[in-house]
């Protein structure tokens, strides 16, 4: 990484980190009115870039937000911002806000959306969590329902996830399990959930309130390639309590094992063979595929 201050892309112009600012009248700030993607890059390659950008445009369309660029142009913005900062391994936060407008909820007061691209480094969990596993706890805060805002939309209004994270940390856990309004497992505050029971891998359905994660999809493909049985189900906490193995997937987290949930030890309390197989397969995948940066 360059010793120079990070260069942040805002609406086509690069600004030093200290000078990268948006208007206090931006609806992304005022109302959480916007969408985002978190994207990883490894060894000079961006992992699943096109899939992330497709999801960004889908999220924007769902909230009636016009992105002032084409998908190909946004892909190029991501690659160029990484290169501008001379980075080789790290994380991109790509944000599209409704843009600057008058005070008031109407999105039609905003003339044009705003695109922000930040490229930096990230370490979500220390190495020992990948070696030993995470501790999880159930959160009281529920996932939004499909009749409010679809859980498939990666909205800038992430307050429910933030509050769930607060609850998990207060319970002495590293991550929190969020349920839907019916009490079924949706996902964690920032990751998807997989369990293994009697040799079969299970994950909650997207209809349960989980995000259709890019890493989730990649791991499901790896499971299929390994000829392992996989089922998407409506999952209760009972299935998590009695699982032989559990692991989480996410862009920042990658694949991380779980050793304890709500004071119940998962399996023998150590990362199981399927979890270790998926972690190794995923690391190989990200190191050998992706969109070239340089």
Catalytic (active site) residue 263: no
Type and span of the H or E element at 137? strand 134-138
What residues have CB less than 8 Å from 266, skipping those under 6 apart? 133, 240, 243, 244, 245, 246, 258, 259, 260
The residue whose two tokens read 């972690």 is: 279
Q: DSSP string spanning 84-125?
A: HTT-SSEEEEEEEE--B--SSS-GGG--S-EEEEEEE----S
The residue whose two tokens read 């009697």 is: 198
70, two tokens = 């084409």
What residues have CB less than 8 Å from 103, skipping those under 6 apart? 25, 30
Nearest CA among 37, 34, 31 for reference residue 212 = 37
In the set 112, 154, 165, 270, the catalytic residue is 154
Q: Give the whole-angstrom CA distance, residue 77 versus residue 97.
A: 16
Beta strands of 168-284 (E only): which ranges?
175-179, 185-188, 192-197, 200-204, 230-233, 245-250, 254-261, 264-265
- Contact, 97 vs 34, CB < 8 A? yes
Residues that are catalytic: 154
């Amino acid at each position: 990484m360059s010793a120079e201050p990070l260069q942040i892309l805002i609406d086509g112009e690069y600004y030093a980190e200290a000078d990268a600012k948006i208007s206090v009248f931006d609806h992304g700030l005022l109302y959480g009115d916007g969408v985002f993607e978190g994207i990883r890059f490894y060894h000079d390659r961006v992992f699943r870039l096109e899939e992330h950008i497709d999801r960004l445009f889908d999220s924007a369309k769902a909230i009636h937000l016009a992105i002032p660029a084409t998908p190909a142009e946004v892909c190029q913005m991501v690659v160029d911002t990484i290169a501008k900062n001379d980075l080789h391994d790290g994380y991109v936060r790509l944000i599209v806000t409704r843009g600057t407008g008058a005070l008031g909820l109407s999105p039609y007061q905003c003339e044009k959306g705003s695109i922000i691209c930040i490229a930096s480094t990230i370490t979500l969990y220390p190495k020992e969590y990948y070696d030993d596993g995470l501790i999880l706890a159930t959160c009281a805060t529920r996932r939004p329902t499909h009749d409010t805002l679809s859980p498939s939309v990666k909205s800038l209004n992430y307050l429910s996830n933030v509050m769930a994270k607060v609850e998990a940390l207060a319970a002495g856990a590293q991550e929190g399990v969020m349920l839907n309004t019916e009490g079924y497992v949706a996902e964690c505050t920032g990751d998807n959930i997989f369990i293994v029971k009697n040799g079969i891998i299970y994950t909650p359905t997207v209809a349960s309130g989980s995000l259709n994660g890019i890493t989730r999809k990649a791991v499901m493909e790896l499971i299929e390639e390994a000829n392992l049985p996989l089922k998407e189900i409506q999952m209760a906490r009972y299935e998590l309590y009695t699982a032989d193995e559990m692991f989480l997937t996410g862009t920042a987290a990658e694949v991380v094992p779980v050793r304890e949930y709500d004071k119940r030890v998962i399996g023998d309390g150590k990362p199981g063979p399927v979890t270790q197989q998926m972690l190794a397969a995923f690391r190989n995948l990200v190191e050998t595929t992706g969109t070239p940066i340089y």
